[in-house]
Amino acid sequence: MADLFQIHEPRGVQPPQAPAPQAPATAPGVAPKDRVRHREPGPRPDWLTVRYQRNDTFKELERLKAGLKLHTVCEEARCPNIDECWSHGTATFMLMGERCTRRCGFCAVGNDPGPLDPDEPAHTAEAIRRMGVRHAVITSVNRDDLPDGGSAHFADTVRAIRAAAPDCRVELLIPDFMGARADVERVLEAGAHIVAHNTETVPRLYKRVRPQALYQRSLDVLRWIHEWPDVISKTGLMLGLGEHDDEVEAVMWDLREVGCEILSLGQYLSPTPKHLAVDRWVHPDTFARFAEVGRAMGFRHVEAGPMVRSSYMAHRAFEL
């Protein structure tokens, strides 16, 4: 979630020419176990400094989460904003366990998932009710091992939240469900207000960054979300994985073509030396330029900055 910019109408910006193909910086399809230790591209700049701030609210949320046996993407993905969000009583809950069936090169979440917890939807709703959350963000690991990809579990959680906290706005960050439209629509039918699916990077880098995903499949999911009545579509990209600026703008045009309304752009930070290396530190001015370009393209909101993550302070999109 993040500080989101004001709504602007398209200003007649013309789409760029398709960028020329370029060779990836690292061979595609490299499995995590084959990656070697790497160095960052110079010292981390000052704008990536994170302040340590934990208060009683942080501790209470930690106790509540543990007592209800819940997982948060804040912890599993090693989010740098965890202190700030938890200290404000905000967390992004992660459904279906703490293990994922995919092996994306950027992600710190572990593999080999276990059985679903049938009490998790009710427990998640109870945590949100106790916290008095007004804007809840729910995501999940990928569960390609399940017949429906976990879509029914997602839907049960949304309905539980709507029953326990009817005034709470519900935002979801969903997987691609292997391109099964019926599974996506099963989630949409449950009544979430915002449904996001992250594009993550430019198509040239998919084989290296998201080897079990397809760029077009992610665009299809976002189009299905946009076509569903009364649901706002959202996506996010990470910068610093080896993409070029013109490629980012080309993806932004693709997203507008499928009706995506909210976009977040943030700096990729490698969670461990075994994960993909950071290719560059993207300057705040570059993020600001992308935000301006996105507004001109007609995105309802654009949040762009080095520390932006898809779920960081998401409620602010509706407070402007």
Q: How crowded is the C-beta side of 220, counted as CA atoms within 13 Å?
A: 16
Specify the 3-state DSSP secondary structure of 246.
helix
User: Does residue 141 carry a pLDDT above 70?
Assistant: yes
Which amino acid belongs to residue 148?
D
Q: For 189-215, what is each residue's pLDDT tens digit?
A: 999 999 999 999 999 999 999 888 899
> Distance between CA atoms of 85 and 77, rounded to whole angstroms?
14
Q: For 84-123, what is each residue's pLDDT tens digit?
A: 554 454 557 777 765 555 454 445 444 555 677 899 899 8
Q: For 46-93, what is each residue's pLDDT tens digit?
A: 877 766 555 555 566 666 656 656 555 554 445 555 555 544 545 577
Q: Among 205, 217, 194, which residue's Cα sits nearest to residue 315?
A: 194
Q: Tell the residue number behind the tokens 């809840």, with chain if given.
A: 136
Average pLDDT, the chain: 77
Distances (CA, A) of 244 to 51, 239, 318: 30, 9, 31
Q: For 293-306, what is each residue's pLDDT tens digit?
A: 999 999 999 999 99
> Distance between CA atoms of 101 and 317, rounded to whole angstroms?
31
CB 120 within 8 A of CB 97: no
CB 234 within 8 A of CB 258: no
pLDDT of residue 313: 52
Q: For 264-286, what is each residue's pLDDT tens digit?
A: 999 998 877 777 889 999 999 99
